[in-house]
Amino acid sequence: MARSKSYRELVVWQKAMTLARQAYALTRGLPKSEAYGLLTQIRRAAVSVPSNIAEGHGRLTDSQFRHFLGNARGSLYEMQTQVELACGLGYLDERSVHELMVQGGEVARLINGLVSALARNKSGEAQHAAELR
């Protein structure tokens, strides 16, 4: 699998960026008492998803990229858990949370697909590292 020149070309990164913007918009409605609690936790985890995808794309090998995709997936699940908690506490409406979860599910599927494709292409690691030198 040939890597795109820029992480910005990756559909998974684009959708993760949309997800992060949605998470920011959703958390605007959290009470001020959560400014240092769930609000910052949700936003930090949401930003971490596209950030890890971009960082992994910039690494030299596919196995390093897969590692960062794993981090991105972990941050996604962390964000989803925190959003569910905020909804359960009555801070967020279920419709908005559902929309975010659907978007998160799509990002997770794209991450999983990319991880699988990279795993099938272990032989391409040496070639990619040589191209970046």
pLDDT band at residue 6 under the 50/70/90 scheme: very high
The burial class, CB within 10 Å (0-12 / 13-18 / 19+), for 90 is exposed
- The per-residue pLDDT for range 71-122, each reduced to its tens digit, is 999 999 999 999 999 999 999 999 999 999 999 999 999 999 999 999 988 7
Per the structure, the count of domains in the chain is: 1
Kindly tell me if the per-residue pLDDT of 131 is higher than 70. no
**What pLDDT is attached to residue 122?**
74
Domain range holding 117?
Answer: 10-132
pLDDT band at residue 4 under the 50/70/90 scheme: confident
DSSP string, the chain: -PPPS-GGG-HHHHHHHHHHHHHHHHHTTS-GGGTTTHHHHHHHHHHHHHHHHHHHHTSSSHHHHHHHHHHHHHHHHHHHHHHHHHHHTTSS-HHHHHHHHHHHHHHHHHHHHHHHHHHHTTTHHHHHHHHH-
Residue 4 forms part of a structural domain? no
**What pLDDT is attached to residue 132?**
53
**What pLDDT is attached to residue 82?**
98
**What pLDDT is attached to residue 127?**
54
Q: What does pLDDT average to over the chain? A: 92
Residue 2 forms part of a structural domain? no
Residue 5 forms part of a structural domain? no
Residue 90 forms part of a structural domain? yes
Residue 41 forms part of a structural domain? yes
Kindly tell me if the per-residue pLDDT of 61 is higher than 70. yes
The CATH number for 71's domain is 1.20.1440.60
97 within 8 A of 26, measured Cβ to Cβ: yes
Kindly tell me if the per-residue pLDDT of 129 is higher than 60. no
**What pLDDT is attached to residue 5?**
86
Q: What is the mean pLDDT of residues 119-130?
A: 63
